């Protein structure tokens, strides 16, 4: 399983800004290795964000998202103590789920 994500959720006013740093190789499928063979694509395909167990956003990503992807968005109505959960799934079927509390 992949390394944990770093999630930071900060409340300001009536919304909370969520910043996520995922740990993933995000191989584009364009690069060649030392023997000239194409390195197969390996990237996060689906990302889901939940606020107190309710899905607030889903995303589909292509291989053009940078290595160790960063994602920022803001959740309306989230306040300190609320739970933010992020899930991702890559094209090899690996997945990861992490949680953070809004501060």
Partner 1 sequence: MQTRRETLKHSAVVAGLLASTGLFPQFAHAAFNKAAFDAKSVQDVLKAIGPGALAESKDVTITGPDIAENGAVVPLGATTTLPNVKQLLILVEKNPSVLVAMFHMTDSIDATVSTRAKMGQSSDVYAVAITADGKALFAKKEVKVTLGGCGG
Which window, 4-12, 63-71, 80-88, 95-103, contacts partner 1 (CB under 8 A)? Answer: 63-71
CB of 91 to partner 1, least distance (A): 7
Rule CB under 8 A: which of 28-47 touch partner 1?
28, 30-32, 45-46
Looking up tokens 């409340």 gives 11
Residue count (the chain): 103
CB environment 30-63: b (16+ within 10 A), e (fewer):
eeeeeeeeeeebbbbbebbbbbeeeebeeeebee
Is 51 one of the binding residues for partner 1 (CB under 8 A)? yes
Give the H/E segment covering residue 41. none
Residues at the site binding partner 1, with contacts judged by CB under 8 A? 15, 26, 28, 30-32, 45-46, 49, 51, 54-67, 69-77, 91, 93
């Amino acid at each position: 399983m992949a390394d944990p994500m770093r999630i930071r959720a900060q409340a300001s006013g009536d919304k909370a800004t969520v910043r996520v740093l995922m740990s993933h190789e995000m191989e584009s499928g364009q690069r060649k290795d030392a023997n000239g063979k194409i390195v197969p694509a390996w990237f996060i395909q689906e990302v889901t964000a939940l606020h107190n167990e309710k899905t607030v956003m889903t995303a589909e990503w292509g291989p053009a998202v940078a290595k160790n992807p960063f994602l920022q968005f803001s959740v309306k109505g989230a306040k300190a103590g609320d739970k933010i959960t992020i899930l991702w799934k890559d094209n090899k079927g690996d997945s990861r789920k992490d949680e953070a509390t809004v501060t």
